[in-house]
Amino acid sequence: MTQQGTTQPTCPRHPGQVAYVRCQRCERPTCAECQRPAQVGVQCVDCVKQVAKANPRAVSRPTDGKPIVSYALIGLCSLIWLGQLVSERVTDEMFFAPVLGASEPWRFITAAFVHASPSPMHLLFNMYALWLTGQYLEPILGRARFLALFLISAFGGSVGFEVLAALDVPRADAWFQGTVGASGGVFGLFLGVVVLNLRLKRDITPMLIVLGLNAVLSFLVSGIAWQAHLGGAITGAACAAVLNLRDRKLHWPGLAAIVVALAALAWMATKWVPAAWVNPIV
């Protein structure tokens, strides 16, 4: 478009509109209708669409940034640990062992809220890891999805412990051995960070180092239920993949499908061991 011999910039999407404002990304002229606010200046609607396509958000309803669920989980685990110090019955009613999975299935989840006592180190490590990952993941995923990621990963950790115990039939003690701790859920959060950052094209090196160190410790330090770590990590990766789907309508059905698959694995594990192990005579 020319006026008095001077060429005026026009919007590519609306050629009839003179546009003196330029997009901060592509530097093309953009009219008021095509302008979108950016952290610095404005961007055109085409650049905004390209960025959204290249870096889709995990969910469309982030929180206000306060990891309330993370704090609640930390508080609950801490209170239960104090209860363990008062009465051993708290641990007895909540720990998980494969032999108890069929008759008392709630233990698949409750085991994540009890920790080794009386030393606080087990609790402190898991709660610190939960705090670190929670303040990053919860604002991005949203509170409900973050809680689901943790709980389903904790369930997956217990299932992993049970399945690997069932496969180790020659060692009968593995089926009767108990486990406690939020490590399955925490490892699920670790993998959640990895999967999310891969999708967002962010650096995953720090989290891979954390996972590597924990893997080494799992085999060097006795008494660590690495089976639960593995089960939680695999489950967390699966949940995070579902939560990265663009269509939010698929998130909850996808998570429900993972829960059903875990329940099926737990049921199958009871079929791999002698019947007397599943319903022992007390």
Active site residues: 183, 229
Beta bridge partners of 35: 44
Cβ pair 168, 174 in contact under 8 A: yes
How far is 143 from 66, CA to CA, in rounded Å? 9
Q: Is 58 exposed, middle or buried (0-12, 13-18, 19+ CB in 10 A)?
A: buried
Cα–Cα distance between 26 and 274 in angstroms, integer? 67
Residue 106 CB: number of other CB atoms within 10 A? 12
Q: Hunting for tokens 């049970």 — which residue is that?
A: 162
**Preceding amide of 274 cis, omega within 30:** no
What's the rounded Cα separation, in Å, for the pair 256 and 250?
Answer: 10
CA gap 280, 69 in Å, rounded: 38
112 within 8 A of 130, measured Cβ to Cβ: no
Burial bucket for residue 118 (CB in 10 Å: 0-12, 13-18, 19+) = exposed
Distance CA 237, CA 235 (A): 5
Q: Which residues pair with 89 in a beta bridge?
A: none
Q: How far apart are CA 274 and CA 169, in angstroms?
A: 9
